[in-house]
Amino acid sequence: MMNISKVALRSRVSRVKLTSQLAGLATTPDEKIEIPKRVPRGPTDILRALESTVGRDPTAAHYKYHDDPYLIPLSNNGKRVFALSQEAGRKAAHWIRREHADLFQHREADPTIEAFVPPMVFDEKSEVAVTDLQKLIKTAQVSDAVVVYKLLKEKGAEVAPELEQGLLELVCYQNCEDGLSDEFIEEKWFKQSQKGKEKLRKTWKDGDFAEQLFMNLPNKTPEAYCAIIQGMAKYYQVDRAVQLFEEAQQNNIPLNTNTYNSLISAVNIMKESFDLRWSLVAQFLNQMKDAKLKPNLGTLNAILAALSSMGNPVGARKYALMTLSQFRELGIEPSLGSWSLVLNTFYKDRGPVSTILHDIINLVENKEHQIRDLKDVHFFVTAMETCRFYLNDVSLAKRIDRLLHHGENYNLIGDSYKESVYYRHYFALLCANLPIEEFMNDVYYKLIPHIYVPEPALMAEVLNQVDVNGAIEYVPKLWSDLVIFDHAHRENLIEMVLNSMTNNEELLTPELNEKFATVGWDIFSRFDDQDSYKVSRMKVALSGDFLGKILLLLARNKEFEKACCVMEKLDRNQQSIAGVPKVEALDKFVDLCIEEKAPSRAIACIQYCVDCGYGEANAMAVRLHKKLTLDEVFLDKLTKIVGDISLAGAKDSV
């Protein structure tokens, strides 16, 4: 795309030159029309050019979901469940194809498309050839490759040393386990990465096929040593890795850079204190120098990773900067992963806040980044986290976000978990620092719900900001979002919604009053309806305080019937409802009863006030008596509740 526009630009420039020269009649004979060089195009270049014109549409769900109101997910759970259900369906189809492989042997396409053919199943009786092993290693099917290799050995077939090396590298890389198939991308995307939790635990399978294969190799090549040491270091079997490393050193077996890198990344397990760890890193680096190995990006990232998890932040920072400058001299450009490790080193809980993130963003901004190291996917989430917790800088956060959406950088977001953490930090930062109108219009309406669905804590944050700023016009929208996102059963959120609706009385308009009453009634009916009560995960019943607030909202909007429902519930379940409503709500209800000329309701309410121990009951009774002419029966009742004296006083005053 860029090339096309460049060409267009260039030809236009030359044309302009030409016409201007013609106009001036100052043609010089040596002026030549510059014909642009032919740009070689790949078969998919035109598709890529088209694709680059299409961005993510925030008003639509991701394209992996079906575009139908019923099938569009709106909550985090929905997104996960829908995508994984579809993948489960695909897995079921794979299972059927595997179980009934004999039915899927037809060949529609010529040449045959491998992806549609059932996979080969290998067991003890299969007829295997060396080419099978080759294919399995190429497609990284670990367990099948192991089976086939064993069969070949049993049959006494000759397996080439290169093939054995390939197999060893495969099993070492995968720790003798089958990886997740590339076919199932949703599972990869939604899999919670467990790496953080079991970071420092040995997961290497001792004595498994990888080690057996290594032991049985007739001549152990340097490549074999490299593979097994890297595998062990990767899965934290450091003792054996170091042992093999020393063995290799003694026997003068040359090892490659990546092997040293893997050992450097495992330094934190080998040694305890900062100085010991750092001297070990230095020792490995010196050994590399002696072996005349040129370090690469992996070395840089391994050193930075080791530094980021060492204690002693001051020393770590110093060494990190030294490492970076040395590698710059070597001409090795740090990847995004290196920067995220630098951020981890520089932003710790203790110590002064550094501004290195600004410098990093200056370096990486406005560029398209490719993945060069596995750690690169951590950059955006780390950068945004730093921005939120340490720098609290909106403009920087926006720059990071722009970088993320530049070109194809969004591929580096990682997985669904990292994506949602990234947006959580971004969202929280903007929520706390932007004016509420700007936040709602530019961020909330844009990102939610298709790009990001806020967690309950963040919704609480938004509600809090709305309440603080008195922007209560957003409350009905927020409540409906809470319902959609499946947060409507959380007590603290309900409380915040009710509070902001009842507290800001001076900002009310008739319209809002009506909307608030609807929201209040919605909350009430959600809890009142026993069926939905069981289905939804509502643990608690509404407290007296909540009911009072709902009553107040309904009374404000003069919805007598509904208010009566709430009042009845309060009255009937006095024992089971925790807490009592505020007296203002009851007061408002009595006024409504007077307006609606329903003395019996009012008297019931006054009775309830007395039961709750509110002194204001008398005043209510007086008001009721004043505004409505009560017959004997009602007067009697009222007298019984609040006593004679007050009534008499009221009569006098009337």
Partner 1 sequence: MSLPQLKNILRAPTFYRLLSTSTACQKSQSGRYRITPRKDLPLTYEMANPPHQIAHRKTWNSINTSNLEGGLRSSETAIEDIFIRKFMTGTWHALFLSEIIIKRQHNIIRIAGIVRRSVSARKMYFLIGYTEELLSFWLQCPVKVELQTVADRRDVVFKYI
22 is a site residue for partner 1 (CB under 8 A): no
Q: Which is nearer to partner 1, 87 or 164 (CB)?
A: 87
Q: How far is it, in rounded angstroms, from Cα 136 to Cα 330?
A: 39
Angle between helices 599-612 and 560-572 in degrees, nearest 10: 40
Nearest distance, CB of residue 176 and partner 1, angstroms: 29
**Of 1, 4, 8, 113, the one binding partner 1 by CB under 8 A:** 113
Q: Which is nearer to partner 1, 88 or 645 (CB)?
A: 88
Nearest distance, CB of residue 47 and partner 1, angstroms: 13
**Of 61, 79, 83, 642, the one binding partner 1 by CB under 8 A:** 83
Angle between helices 416-433 and 76-99 in degrees, nearest 10: 170
119 is a site residue for partner 1 (CB under 8 A): no
Q: Which is nearer to partner 1, 187 or 591 (CB)?
A: 187
81 is a site residue for partner 1 (CB under 8 A): yes
Which of 269, 207, 209 has its CA nearest to residue 233?
A: 269
Q: How far is it, in rounded angstroms, from Cα 496 to Cα 486?
A: 16
**Of 18, 31, 57, 116, the one binding partner 1 by CB under 8 A:** 116
User: What tokens were used for 645?
Assistant: 């004296």
What sign does the CA torsion over 275, 277, 279, 285 have?
negative
**Of 25, 35, 93, 314, the one binding partner 1 by CB under 8 A:** 93
| CA-to-CA dists, residue 581 to 492, 508, 519, 575, 602, angstroms | 17, 21, 18, 14, 16
Q: Which is nearer to partner 1, 3 or 85 (CB)?
A: 85
**Of 30, 108, 124, 329, the one binding partner 1 by CB under 8 A:** 108
97 is a site residue for partner 1 (CB under 8 A): yes
Contact (CB, 8 A) for 202 and 236: yes
561 is a site residue for partner 1 (CB under 8 A): no
Which of 487, 637, 511 has its CA nearest to residue 76?
A: 487
Which residues within the stretch 466-525 sit at the binding site for partner 1 (CB under 8 A)?
A: none
**Of 8, 22, 71, 648, the one binding partner 1 by CB under 8 A:** 71
| CA-to-CA dists, residue 335 to 58, 241, 327, 384, angstroms | 29, 27, 12, 17
**Of 4, 13, 22, 92, the one binding partner 1 by CB under 8 A:** 92
Q: Which is nearer to partner 1, 418 or 450 (CB)?
A: 450
Interface stretch with partner 1, choices 31-39, 65-73, 194-202, 586-594 (CB under 8 A):
65-73
121 is a site residue for partner 1 (CB under 8 A): no
Q: Which is nearer to partner 1, 16 or 71 (CB)?
A: 71
Q: Which amino acid is at 57?
A: D
Contacts of 304 (CB under 8 A, 6+ apart): 320, 323, 338, 341, 342, 345
Nearest distance, CB of residue 350 and partner 1, angstroms: 46
Residue located via tokens 């997961």:
203
CA atoms within 13 A on the CB side of 288: 20
89 is a site residue for partner 1 (CB under 8 A): yes
66 is a site residue for partner 1 (CB under 8 A): yes
What sign does the CA torsion over 507, 511, 516, 519 have?
negative
The site string for partner 1 over 447-466 (x = CB under 8 A, - otherwise) reads: --------------------
Nearest distance, CB of residue 404 and partner 1, angstroms: 28
109 is a site residue for partner 1 (CB under 8 A): yes
CA atoms within 13 A on the CB side of 290: 11
**Of 29, 55, 69, 156, the one binding partner 1 by CB under 8 A:** 69
Nearest distance, CB of residue 534 and partner 1, angstroms: 18
Angle between helices 142-155 and 161-174 in degrees, nearest 10: 150
Residue 437: count other Cβ atoms within 10 Å of its Cβ: 12
Nearest distance, CB of residue 531 and partner 1, angstroms: 17
Phi/psi for 256 (5° steps) reads -95, 175
Q: How far is CA 421 from the centre of its chain?
A: 4
Interface stretch with partner 1, choices 6-14, 82-90, 268-276, 347-355 (CB under 8 A):
82-90
Contacts with partner 1, residue ranges (CB under 8 A): 66, 68-71, 73, 78, 81-83, 85-94, 96-97, 104, 106-109, 113, 116
